Structure 1
Amino acid sequence: MKIPVIVLSGFLGSGKTTLLLRLLAAAKATGLQTGVIMNELGQLDVDGHILKEYSETKVEKLLDGCVCCSKRSELASSIQNLCLSRPDVIFIELTGVANPEEIADVLTEPNIHASVRLKQIVTVLDAENVLDYNSFFESDTALIRTFRRQIETADLLVLNKTDLASTPKRRKIDQLLLKHNSTAVVIPTTHSRIDSGLLLADIAKQERRTVAAASSSFRLLKTVPHAGEHGSSSGHRDGEAASYSRVQTLSLPLAAGSYPSRKAIEKFLLKNKNRLLRAKGYVRLLPDSPVMLLQLAGNQITWSESLHQGPSYLVLIGIDFNKQELEEQWRILERQ
């Protein structure tokens, strides 16, 4: 019996990790064993540490790149590693700039398609900001195309943060989703709360004594070619352009013994907000205080206590930012 794979897609800060945590809790409550592959653009892991605090599931982490291009070969290897323990379901949480269509393609590769099957692609959307992406990324056609494919290839669209979107904005979002995917189920919600049964109800427990027999069946996604492209709607197979081009990441470690104030860090983020898509990391504000999980998503900066015991750091994801300038600002902040 093939292991079902659920792909969690969606742009940066949409709420994918929150949804994953809810699904893992629901799976555990029903006795399902899970495996997770987490992909992050930055060199330092944040979401994996969050997952460790709330779940005992087996996790494969792919850092410093995107599984639909630079980390594509590692994805297949990670899937094989998870299959050894025969979980009942595998979740793959993508980076915010990944095209889920490419992951579906990886699952058809000969060395793994006998063991896994693509069950569903779930795309999480940020209702507060989703209408602004086209204008924000107007000069990056690859990124706009990736965002659209996240919508077009989804079986389930989770419209998150609806409490931050006005009724007129909601109507425009509904029109956008209908235009790009008229068949997907759309679930409006807040804090990524959905009925887990929509994804987990029909998943059966795996036989763990032997690996399932090989099968030639697999799912292919409908590909919609774009003008000027050949062979792939994402435009980056076999060494072609990536699904994003101007997105950059920067890891900013905090020097030992440095305890900048919450106000100073927020000022740093807001000063550079026009170029930031996402920021997340772990910061200890005082020597004897708990390490705080800091997240910037859209217009919201949140702080929450964590169990993280390692050094403090911040990971920035943005568009065309000046890394040297940001590092200099960070060093000044460290000395405050």
Structure 2
Amino acid sequence: MVDVYLFSGFLGSGKTSLLKKMITELKDKGLKPAVFMNELGSMNFDSEEVGDGVPLKEILDGCICCSGSEKSEAQIQTLLAEEEFDVLLIETTGAAHPIEALDAIFSPLFAERLNFRGIVTVADSKRFMERQQLPPQVRSLFLEQIRHADLLLANKSDLLSDSEQSQVIFEIQQLNPSARIVQTVHAKVPFQLLESMNHQSRGTVAQAPISKLKLQTKIVAFDRPVEREVFEEWLRDLPDTVYRIKGYVTLAGHSYPHSFQYAYGMVQWLPEYMKLRNQIVLIGENLEELVFP
């Protein structure tokens, strides 16, 4: 399995600086990194920072977590098929919600190959101090990126006084009391710190704690066709703590699987016309308590 780290943070927070340092450290350790980058514009100048010899895929002119979701899935699938590597570093656009980005990359086509280690959010300390000056929607996203971090880098701390630094740490802890918070300059942290984040439990069904909300991912495979009525009855009985399901399910009486999407109680089926692995990925809380049809 490939260890996966997702880098989140608002525009200009220092994610690319973190990415460059992690690439260097991984190479020094004899590990081969690969990178998946996202940029809202049609040009991604940050990709030039990755360097030679590092497998790279990117999605431009769209967000990993909305219009670019299908492209993201295709790019990561291609990366896994064409390259051999040990660690996948994902840098999201500054406009991405980390949980939605996670949903976009956890495709049932290859989820069993990914050992998700956690979300690293890089927060601009000075911007955090001045967050009330941001437009409400931008401020909301900025705070959401902080709330869902496993590891939080309070970056650019050198721009603040000692008392301001203490205030930033205190207020960030109120937003996300379970994340480890580290003050940084130029996002400099050792890779060992990332390795210390939550490990994915290993077994036939994968689980990956990813945030203070104790979100998990679980992969469920089906070895035979499923009765649609039985499956949808199971969906209706799901608790509110199951936020998202997607995957491919072969329904009884059909030769090919259906693409399946579930979010906030809404279900969507789309027919496919090729053989695909019958499995779904769930994202939510307390997934180990679920009984599947």
Runs of 4+ more than 6 Å apart: 230-233, 237-240
* CA distance 1:238–1:168, change in 2 (3 Å): farther
1:44-101 per-residue CA deviation (whole Å, 9 max, x = no partner) reads: 121012223xx42011011111101111111111221221223101000011111111
Match of 1:283 in 2: none
Match of 1:288 in 2: none
1:156-201 per-residue CA deviation (whole Å, 9 max, x = no partner) reads: 1111111101223212211221111111111111111112212248
Match of 1:63 in 2: 60
Question: How many residues are matched?
Answer: 216
1:166 aligned residue (148, 161, 168):
161
2:182 aligned residue (178, 187, 206):
187
Q: How does 1:2-13 map to 2 (within 5 A)?
A: 2-13=1-12
Paired residues of 2:69 and 2:105 also in contact (CA < 8 A): no
Match of 2:205 in 1: 216
Query: Displacement of 1:153 after TM fit?
Result: 1.3
Query: Displacement of 1:26 after TM fit?
Result: 0.4
Q: Tell whether 2:128 aligns with 1:130.
A: yes
Match of 1:24 in 2: 23
Mapped partners of 2:263, 2:132: distance in 1? 26
Paired residues of 1:15 and 1:160 also in contact (CA < 8 A): yes
Mapped partners of 1:44, 1:177: distance in 2? 33
Mapped partners of 1:56, 1:18: distance in 2? 18
Match of 1:87 in 2: 85
Mapped partners of 1:31, 1:96: distance in 2? 30
Paired residues of 1:10 and 1:125 also in contact (CA < 8 A): yes
Give percent identity, aligned residues only: 31
Mapped partners of 2:59, 2:106: distance in 1? 20
Unaligned runs of 5+ in 2: 198-202, 215-240, 245-260, 265-293
Query: Displacement of 1:11 after TM fit?
Result: 0.8
Mapped partners of 2:123, 2:196: distance in 1? 23
Mapped partners of 2:208, 2:70: distance in 1? 20
1:252-271 per-residue CA deviation (whole Å, 9 max, x = no partner) reads: xxxxxxxxxxxxxxxxxxxx
Query: Displacement of 1:5 after TM fit?
Result: 0.7
Read off the aligned partner of 1:217 and give its amino acid letter.
A
Paired residues of 1:76 and 1:112 also in contact (CA < 8 A): no
Read off the aligned partner of 1:12 and give its amino acid letter.
L
> More deviation in 96-105 or 14-23?
96-105
Q: Tell whether 2:69 aligns with 1:72.
A: yes
Mapped partners of 2:182, 2:56: distance in 1? 27
Read off the aligned partner of 1:122 and give its amino acid letter.
V
Paired residues of 1:101 and 1:149 also in contact (CA < 8 A): no
Match of 2:290 in 1: none
Read off the aligned partner of 1:181 and give its amino acid letter.
N
Unaligned runs of 5+ in 1: 203-213, 225-229, 241-336
User: TM-score, normalized by length of structure 1?
Assistant: 0.58
* CA distance 1:74–1:218, change in 2 (3 Å): farther
Higher relative contact order (CA 8 A, sep 6+): 1
Q: What's the RMSD between the two structures over aligned residues?
A: 2.8
Paired residues of 2:64 and 2:101 also in contact (CA < 8 A): yes
Match of 1:277 in 2: none
Match of 1:109 in 2: 107
Query: Displacement of 1:107 after TM fit?
Result: 4.2
1:289-327 per-residue CA deviation (whole Å, 9 max, x = no partner) reads: xxxxxxxxxxxxxxxxxxxxxxxxxxxxxxxxxxxxxxx
1:86-122 per-residue CA deviation (whole Å, 9 max, x = no partner) reads: 3101000011111111122234431121111211210
User: TM-score, normalized by length of structure 2?
Assistant: 0.67
Paired residues of 2:169 and 2:181 also in contact (CA < 8 A): no
**Alignment partner of 1:42: what SS?**
coil
Paired residues of 1:107 and 1:118 also in contact (CA < 8 A): no
Mapped partners of 2:160, 2:18: distance in 1? 19
**Alignment partner of 1:103: what SS?**
helix
* CA distance 1:239–1:145, change in 2 (3 Å): farther
